[in-house]
């Protein structure tokens, strides 16, 4: 309790109660942090993030994380609200129109592909670049971006999101070195088990893959709350020496060939 007391955080990507970012926001607030929420105007209108903000007294600021002007305005508004610099940032933004439109990887629409990379990966670059230019993240701050094992393995149907997550993880490592030298801020990745979010629901094979990974993971799939608690730990001062890492919240699946007792 109180592991994040006094810290101010900015969380990108919460949409509804299924969102990983939603669970992270609640966990951070429970750990004592003051949280600012952000998503696009359309996501705010379509989702229930406004309910989360109202019920837990969190500032909600519309922002398109692919637009630098929006990001500059967001950081200015967030810092004004919390009365200083931001201590931690969660990147929970992802979208693939190729998956939504059921395009196979080999027939990808390239306009959609570019959107996938921009929204799901380059947005992290833009967020961290903007924060660096504004010196908006405090010394010994922490940034976490959410990823998936499809960044390094073939997962049927994961499509261009696999490419986007690979790029996301590379961006985190690059900026981890830059921010470490700048002000000791850490940048890490949490690679989460398949989780039935709204975005994940567009992946046609999610139900099968969820059951498969749950069977093979020695601890079973990690829940959204498991992911949130790991993010809280990474945001805390207990993890001051951890940066540029991909940390797996997946019950051991990523390091397992076949789990004892798996029923396949």
**Residues 49-58 pLDDT 10s:** 999 999 999 9
pLDDT: is 139 or 211 the higher one?
139
pLDDT confidence band for 45 (50 / 70 / 90): very high
Under CATH, what is the fold of the domain 8-253? Rossmann fold (3.40.50)
Q: Lowest mean pLDDT: which of 19-33, 152-166, 192-206?
A: 192-206
Burial class (CB in 10 A: 0-12, 13-18, 19+), 237: exposed
pTM over 0.85: yes
Give the pLDDT score at 212: 87
Q: What is the mean pLDDT of the chain?
A: 94
Mean pLDDT of 2-26: 96
Give the pLDDT score at 1: 61
Token pair, residue 252, equals 């051991």
Give the pLDDT score at 202: 59
Give the pLDDT score at 98: 95
**Residues 188-219 pLDDT 10s:** 999 999 987 655 555 666 778 888 899 999 99
């Amino acid at each position: 309790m109180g592991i994040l007391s006094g810290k101010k955080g900015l969380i990108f990507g919460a949409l509804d109660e299924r969102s990983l970012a939603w669970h992270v926001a609640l966990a951070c607030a429970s750990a004592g942090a003051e949280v600012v929420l952000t998503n696009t105007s359309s996501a705010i209108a379509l989702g229930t993030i406004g309910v989360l903000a109202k019920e837990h007294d969190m500032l909600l600021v519309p922002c398109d994380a692919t637009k630098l002007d929006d990001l500059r305005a967001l950081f200015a508004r967030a810092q004004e609200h919390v009365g200083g610099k931001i201590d931690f940032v969660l990147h929970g933004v992802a979208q693939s129109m190729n998956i939504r439109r059921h395009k196979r990887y080999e027939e990808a629409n390239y306009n959609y592909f570019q959107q996938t990379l921009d929204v799901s990966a380059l947005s992290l670059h833009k967020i961290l670049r903007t924060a660096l230019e504004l010196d908006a993240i405090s010394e010994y701050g922490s940034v976490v971006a959410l990823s998936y094992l499809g960044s390094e393995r073939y997962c049927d149907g994961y499509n261009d999101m696999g490419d986007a997550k690979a790029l996301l993880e590379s961006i985190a490592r690059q900026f981890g070195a830059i921010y470490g030298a700048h002000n000791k801020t850490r940048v890490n990745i949490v690679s989460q088990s398949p989780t039935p979010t709204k975005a994940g629901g567009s992946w046609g094979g999610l139900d099968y893959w969820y059951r498969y990974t749950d069977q093979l993971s020695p601890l079973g799939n990690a829940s959204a709350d498991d992911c949130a608690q790991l993010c809280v730990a990474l945001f805390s001062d207990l993890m001051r020496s951890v940066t540029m890492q991909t940390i797996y919240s997946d019950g051991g699946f990523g390091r397992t060939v076949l789990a004892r007792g798996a029923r396949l």
